[in-house]
């Protein structure tokens, strides 16, 4: 339209970075026309008369622009956010200078279509107004501002929900990163974890592994592999079934005390920290993937009259608890075997690897994405059946 009417003008957009400064510098000159996108909003200072303030010509141009009413800002639409409109208005009338702003809207604009555009259009048809007659009315202005406030409220709720969802993962990250940072600094000590290691081994033998009839064989097999000892060294009275768990607990405590006394404290701390690093790196990535997949489909909970955010928090908490259990259980079950693989070097590594995780056939059904029981660190689906798998 400007070209048809032979009106000289400049275009300010994000395509010509090297010309932006010169276009803004010339925008304040008399009769200058600048067509700009929203990038001419906050932070753009248009000096009346141009940017060269030390010349006589600038003074003449500045006085001429001031006498003509200053900078005029003409908006071609109202935005969804009132903040953007106000930033564009703020380009004129800066630092006491005169200025003028005028915004035009169409009933076909997205904002008007969403909030009452059809109603105003039908009212114009009833009254018999022509399409090219401008409407200036406080009611219309107020309706646009109400529409903007509704959109802002809707966008605020979206951002608020996003922060609440992210907060769930942020709290989990804090706990995991604390465990990992302590592992990097070798600050996981045996005295701190001895009780939990004992409980994790007990839970693995009597809870995770199930309660079948072959308790004696299972206990001897698991303890011999966890502590790298012969099954003949396991002195537990299996005749009294009610006291088997307490007998096994006493034996585990005794074996762990022997392990602690026969090794240096710094070495044990280093082994525990190394196992934590390996286990966290392996399980945390899988947990992040699971949480991300759950978040994408959690909105379907609303169909069952349940709050998706609350369900996300509950399920996320359960998944995170299981994650911590898996990490600590891996450290507990692998500590003795890992220490011996480090102490005896690569020659003993193959024999230790074969035994420091219980046999898969005696375990519950293993998922395709679970760690392979052979101790390789790979997923079950990628490891089992290969040449290097020891299961």
Task: With beta carbons less than 8 A apart as the criterion, state whether 40 and 91 touch.
Answer: yes
What interhelical angle do 308-344 and 346-355 show, nearest 10?
140
User: What is the 8-class DSSP label of residue 101?
Assistant: E
What is the separation of C-alpha 218 from the centre of its chain, rounded to a whole number of angstroms? 42
Task: With beta carbons less than 8 A apart as the criterion, state whether 12 and 37 touch.
Answer: yes
Rounded Cα distance between 229 and 264, Å, is 20
Task: With beta carbons less than 8 A apart as the criterion, state whether 226 and 336 touch.
Answer: yes
Tokens of 165: 């969802």
Task: With beta carbons less than 8 A apart as the criterion, state whether 83 and 38 touch.
Answer: no
CA angle 116/159/168 to nearest 5° reads 145
What interhelical angle do 215-227 and 244-261 show, nearest 10?
10
The tens-digit pLDDT sequence of the chain (391 residues) is 788 888 878 888 877 777 777 888 778 788 888 888 877 766 677 888 877 666 777 788 888 888 888 888 888 888 888 888 888 888 787 777 888 888 888 777 777 777 666 776 676 677 666 666 666 767 777 777 888 888 888 889 989 989 999 999 999 999 999 999 999 988 888 888 899 999 988 888 887 665 555 777 888 888 888 888 887 778 777 777 677 888 888 888 988 998 889 888 888 999 999 999 999 999 999 999 999 999 898 888 888 889 999 999 999 999 999 999 999 999 999 998 888 887 655 544 444 444 444 444 444 567 777 777 766 667 776 676 565 564 4
Rounded Cα distance between 382 and 162, Å, is 36
Instruction: Give the model confidence (pLDDT) of 71-111 as tens digits.
Output: 888 888 888 888 888 888 887 877 778 888 888 887 777 77
Q: Which residue has the tokens 């760690």?
A: 371
Task: With beta carbons less than 8 A apart as the criterion, state whether 73 and 91 touch.
Answer: yes
What interhelical angle do 265-297 and 138-184 show, nearest 10?
150
Task: With beta carbons less than 8 A apart as the criterion, state whether 193 and 337 touch.
Answer: no
Q: Which backbone phi and psi does 109 adopt, to 5 degrees? A: -65, 150
Rounded Cα distance between 316 and 324, Å, is 12
For residue 384, the surrounding DSSP H or E stretch is none
- Which of these, 270, 223, 274, 230, lies nearest to 377 by C-alpha position? 274
Cα-based distances in Å from 269 to 123, 184, 192: 79, 11, 10
Task: With beta carbons less than 8 A apart as the criterion, state whether 389 and 372 touch.
Answer: yes
**Domains present along the chain, CATH in parentheses:** 2-104 (3.40.50.300), 171-343 (1.10.3060.10)
Residues 6+ apart with CB under 8 A from 223: 205, 229, 231, 234, 248, 251, 252, 255
- Using only C-alpha atoms, the chain has a radius of gyration, in whole angstroms, of 36
Q: Which residue intervals of the chain are DSSP H helices? A: 17-26, 56-67, 82-89, 110-114, 117-127, 138-184, 190-203, 215-227, 244-261, 265-297, 308-344, 346-355, 380-383
Residues 6+ apart with CB under 8 A from 38: 79, 84, 88
Tokens of 121: 């259009």
- Beta-bridge mates of residue 10: 34
Task: With beta carbons less than 8 A apart as the criterion, state whether 233 and 254 touch.
Answer: no
pLDDT for 5 equals: 80
**SS3 state of residue 75:** strand
DSSP letter for each residue of 157-186:
HHHHHHHHHHHHHHHHHHHHHHHHHHHHTT
């Amino acid at each position: 339209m400007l070209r048809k009417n032979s009106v000289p003008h400049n275009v300010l957009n994000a395509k010509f970075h090297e010309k932006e400064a010169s276009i803004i510098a010339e925008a304040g000159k008399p009769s200058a026309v600048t067509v700009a996108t929203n990038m001419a909003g906050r932070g753009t200072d248009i000096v009346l008369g141009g940017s060269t303030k030390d010349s006589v010509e600038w003074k003449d141009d500045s006085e001429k622009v001031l006498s003509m009413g200053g900078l005029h800002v003409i908006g071609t639409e109202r935005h969804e956010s009132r903040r953007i409109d106000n930033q564009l208005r703020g380009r004129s009338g800066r630092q006491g200078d005169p200025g003028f702003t005028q915004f035009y809207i169409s009933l076909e604009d997205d904002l008007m279509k969403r909030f009452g555009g059809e109603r105003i259009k039908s009212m114009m048809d009833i009254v018999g107004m022509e399409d090219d007659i401008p409407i200036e009315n406080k009611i219309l202005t107020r309706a646009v501002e109400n529409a903007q406030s509704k959109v802002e409220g809707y966008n605020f709720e979206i951002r608020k929900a996003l922060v609440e969802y992210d907060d769930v993962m942020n709290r989990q990250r804090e706990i995991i990163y604390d465990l990992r940072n302590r592992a990097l600094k070798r600050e996981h000590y045996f005295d701190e974890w001895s009780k939990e290691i004992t409980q994790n081994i007990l839970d693995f033998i009597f809870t995770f592994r199930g309660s079948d009839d072959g308790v004696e064989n299972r206990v001897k097999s698991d303890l011999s592999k966890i502590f790298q000892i012969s099954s003949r060294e396991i002195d537990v009275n299996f005749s009294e079934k009610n006291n088997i768990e307490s007998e096994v607990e006493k034996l585990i405590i005794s074996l762990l005390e022997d392990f602690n006394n026969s090794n240096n404290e710094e070495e044990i701390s280093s082994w525990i920290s190394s196992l934590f690093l390996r286990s966290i790196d392996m399980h945390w990535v899988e947990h992040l993937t699971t949480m991300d997949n759950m978040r994408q489909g959690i909105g379907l909970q609303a169909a069952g009259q349940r709050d998706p955010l609350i369900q996300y928090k509950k399920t996320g908490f359960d998944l995170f608890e299981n994650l911590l259990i898996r990490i600590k259980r891996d450290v507990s079950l692998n500590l003795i075997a890992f220490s011996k693989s480090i102490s005896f070097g690569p020659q003993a590594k193959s024999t230790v690897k074969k035994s420091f995780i219980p046999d898969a056939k005696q375990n519950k059904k293993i998922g395709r994405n679970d760690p392979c029981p052979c101790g390789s660190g790979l997923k079950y689906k990628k490891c089992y059946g290969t040449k290097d798998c020891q299961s």
